């Protein structure tokens, strides 16, 4: 059983790096979007950069509580925004029809 403990740590680090790449991409898409606030996209990009510190473990250990704080803030803001405001269906349909007319 002790043999698998270091593998668990490596798997956790790999998961954090992959989630960092996801957060970077989502942040870019939110920033380019017209439906969500651009500030949320910037927060997601900062979250992705924070999670990407796990590429180099000494750096991640050095900035430990501060590299995960933007991710928690951005995730909470995104969840609350989507739960409370939803999507404006009329605006969505207008932009969808404008995109199909091109």
Q: Would you state the pLDDT for residue 12?
A: 85
pLDDT score recorded for residue 98? 83
Q: What is the pLDDT of residue 102?
A: 64
Q: Where are the domains of the chain?
A: 2-101
Contact 44, 72 (CB under 8 A): no
Q: The pTM is what? A: 0.80
Q: What is the mean pLDDT of each run of 10 residues along the chain (102 residues)?
A: 84 91 96 88 95 89 88 93 84 82 68
CA distances 8 to 5, 17, 20, Å, are 5, 14, 18
């Amino acid at each position: 059983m002790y043999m698998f403990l270091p593998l668990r740590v490596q798997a956790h680090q790999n998961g954090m790096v992959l989630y960092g790449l996801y957060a970077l991409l989502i942040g870019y898409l939110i920033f380019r979007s017209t439906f969500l606030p651009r500030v949320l996209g910037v927060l997601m990009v900062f979250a992705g950069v924070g999670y990407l510190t796990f590429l180099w473990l000494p750096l991640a250990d050095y900035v430990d509580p501060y590299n995960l704080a933007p991710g928690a803030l951005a995730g909470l803001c995104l969840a609350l925004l989507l739960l409370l405001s939803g999507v404006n269906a009329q605006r969505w349909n207008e932009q969808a029809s404008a995109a199909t007319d091109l």
